[in-house]
Chain A
Amino acid sequence: MALLEVRDLDVRFALRQGEVRALRNINFTLDRGERLGLVGESGAGKSVAAFSLLNLIAKPGYIAGGSIRFDGQELIGLGERRLRRIRGNRVSMIFQDPMMTLNPVLTIGEQMVECLKAHRRIASREARAIALHKLQQVQIPSPETRLDQYPHELSGGMRQRVIIAIALLLDPDIIIADEPTTALDVTIQAEIMTLLLELCEKHNVGLILITHDLGVVSQVTQRMLVMYAGRVIEAGPTREIINDPQHPYTQGLMNALPQMATPGSHLNQIRGSMPPLSQLPSGCAFHPRCDFVTRADGSERPACSRQVPDFVASGNCRVACHMVAEMLAQEAATEEDRP
């Protein structure tokens, strides 16, 4: 059985102008020590997905349905006390901006000791020793002095190391990393990502990496989900999706990478922008931006604007696209005709 199993997760925000569905029918699993990427544009629902895993969506958001099973235990509907025992202890989280996630008025050591004491009955001195050990693991120079320093005394890269150390503090089973390197210098990004990858491999920690950086996803994760407007549109082994993206949106994302454009020409882009969740188009949410709404012979594919596509299996991946479904059906038909 998988360590984390998310079934039909449905998250809504009750806003004044009506209910907005931020996440619909999210399904995925994560095994112990597995690394999963969550990819999509800003506003696709990646961070909401991360927060809902810990049942920490801020009002007016709420989980409307589905199931999140962690280590055999259902998290939805679980009491606050028992959830607290999981947060930070068995599932921890790394945020985007290391400048903001550390409390400016407490020293690094105080914050680490506090986290330890919230979950274990432990003496301060012992907690400090563990904190020091974790700081050494994240390769911070002179870790002893860091314990008594305030966050503003550290550089961005060092702070993110501290945050990783805090995430590892209680030897969690899963780390959720929400764009852990976006706010850092490009030179530091690779360092931090390598460190995170190494530590996850070494301690057999599962990683859910939320990012819009396809390069990072391809290097770090084993499987990935592509999200668009609150839905997963393509899921499968990272290598397969990167090498041969099926969904037109994923193809567009790949084409938009700067290295895909010929030097000197304009960068490729997906035309239009993601619709606001309150005004989703009918049918496939991507169809107004999709080049494959019309078939190769020029005829319209009416299902695109009428019906939400179901997942079809393509290789080891699952794709939600009418065009892909149609092509697969044709292939199957021709194969049946052959004998």
Chain B
Amino acid sequence: MSTPSSSPAATPAGGRWQRLRDSYLWYSFKRDRGAQLCLATLLALVGMALLAPWLAPTDPYDLAQIDILASELPPFWIDGSDPAYTLGTDAQGRDLWSIILYGTRVSLLIGFGAVLLQALLGVVFGLLAGYLGGRVDALLMRLADIQLSFSTLMVAIVVGAVVKATLGGGFYSDYAILMLILIIGLAEWPQYARTVRASVLAEKRKEYVDAAKVMGLKSRRIMFRHVLPNTLSPIFVISTVQIANAIISEAALSFLGLGMPETHPSLGSLIKAGFDYLQSGAWWITLIPGAFLVVLVLSINLLGDWLRDVMNPRLYKG
């Protein structure tokens, strides 16, 4: 029947930090080596990306610092390397380490940006569809179905073509980051909308929603302040997966030449740039950024898996 209440003395009088330390999330994190390792790797990569201008020995965007004669130098453990370029150089003579730092930055920026856009669209649409139901629901969910029937690639090609045709190729490469965020964000919002709608449908049957209506609160307020916070944990979980997906999508688009230009490369366009030299023996230009991409996506995905297990109440409450 009634759960025993914790004694008033034992309950913290506030402090979100204290509450986090008491939570199951923290408890599980402390006991999971894999999750700790993933978070550490992810934080290291994010830190590297954020601090790129200070960590990188050269500025890869500065053409004056590039020495074309130093192109295709191997990384330090192979004969013929130059100690100035730890991980070697690419075909244009740019320091691979510096350009990977900047590339990770671009990849992460696009990943997070696109997911933010997806989440914004998906949460609002999913919430409206689930809570209001009826025609709004039918309309928004058919819209989502239509959106899902176009692949990210198709959206990218169409948007890219339209923008290049109307505003010029220069405009596209100048605003490539924004364009990619927009494309990946628009292509994937239905994932969020469907998840949010499903949990809103479950939440809105609960009595606290009736109670809020009886209190005389407005629908908008009930939706965003009462129902939305209760659907946060699935949103949180798919966000991790979606960030990894967005980074991969961006890499794939860049690899196909639809993404970041080579003068402003992401991890994906670095892999593409190096691909042409794979046969000529300069494998590192492709493989080293590739390894970074794999580690980045893997750690996000594993972290997401762990989060999904922890936040699924059915798995630990029995």
- Residues of A bordering B, CB below 8 Å: 54, 56, 84-89, 92-93, 95-97, 100-106, 114-115, 118-119, 141-142, 145, 148-149, 152-158, 163, 166, 183-185, 188
Contact = CB atoms under 8 A, between A and B. Distances in A.
Contact of B214 (A54, A97, A142, A153): A54
A296 B214 CA distance: 49
B80 interface: no
A106 B1 contact: no
Contact of B213 (A56, A102, A153, A183): A56
Interface stretch (B33-41, B170-178, B225-233, B269-277): B225-233
B206 interface: yes
Which one of A88, A92, A183 has the greatest number of beta carbons of chain B within 10 Å? A88
B211 A155 contact: no
A89 B216 contact: yes
- Which size class do B's interface residues fall under? 20 to 34
Contact of B2 (A87, A104, A188): A188
Interface of B: 1-6, 8, 11, 13-14, 206-208, 210-218, 221, 225-226, 229-230, 232
Contacts of A86: 216
Given A85-B216, A118-B216, A145-B13, A102 B208 contact: yes
A155 B2 contact: yes
Contacts of A96: 207
A152 B208 contact: no
A89 B4 CA distance: 32
Contact of A87 (B206, B216, B232): B216
Given A101-B207, A103-B230, A92 B1 contact: no
Of A85, A105, A154, the most chain B CB neighbours within 10 A belong to A105
Given A114-B225, A115-B216, 18 more contacts: A54-B214, A84-B218, A87-B213, A88-B216, A100-B206, A100-B208, A101-B208, A103-B212, A104-B208, A106-B226, A106-B229, A114-B221, A119-B216, A142-B8, A153-B11, A155-B2, A156-B3, A183-B1
Nearest to B134: A59
Given A87-B213, A153-B6, A184 B1 contact: yes
Contact of B5 (A84, A118, A155, A184): A155
B217 A114 contact: yes
A147 B207 CA distance: 21
Nearest to B4: A155
Q: Across the A-B interface, give the 3 residue pairs with the lowest CB-CB distance, nearest first.
A: A156-B2, A88-B216, A87-B216
17 contacts: A56-B214, A86-B216, A87-B215, A87-B216, A95-B207, A100-B207, A103-B230, A104-B230, A105-B229, A105-B230, A105-B232, A114-B215, A119-B216, A145-B13, A153-B11, A155-B3, A157-B2
B201 to A, nearest CB: 13
A105 B235 CA distance: 15
Given A118-B216, A119-B216, A101 B6 contact: no
Nearest to B2: A156
A103 B223 CA distance: 12
B210 A95 contact: yes
Contact of B13 (A87, A103, A148): A148
A96 B230 CA distance: 21
B239 to A, nearest CB: 18
Contacts of B221: 114, 118
A84 B216 CA distance: 4
A104 B213 CA distance: 16
B211 A101 contact: yes
Nearest to B231: A105
Contacts of A118: 215-218, 221
A115 B206 CA distance: 18
Contacts of B4: 155
B150 to A, nearest CB: 34
A113 to B, nearest CB: 12
Given A155-B5, A156-B2, A185-B1, A88 B13 contact: no
Contacts of A154: 5
A158 B3 CA distance: 11
Nearest to A103: B208
A88 B13 CA distance: 29
Nearest to A110: B225
A186 to B, nearest CB: 9
Given A97-B207, A100-B208, A145-B11, A88 B218 contact: no
Contacts of B211: 93, 95, 101-103, 163
B215 A115 contact: yes
Contacts of B226: 103, 106
A274 to B, nearest CB: 24
Nearest to A54: B214
A104 B227 CA distance: 10
Nearest to B133: A59
A183 B212 CA distance: 20
Given A103-B230, A145-B13, A185 B216 contact: no
B199 to A, nearest CB: 13
B127 to A, nearest CB: 15
A185 B1 CA distance: 7
B225 A88 contact: no
A163 B226 CA distance: 16
A152 B6 CA distance: 10
A89 B213 CA distance: 12
A104 B211 CA distance: 13
B37 to A, nearest CB: 31
Nearest to B214: A93
A330 B217 CA distance: 55
A313 B157 CA distance: 81
A215 B281 CA distance: 90
Contacts of B1: 156, 183-185
A155 B229 CA distance: 22
A4 to B, nearest CB: 16
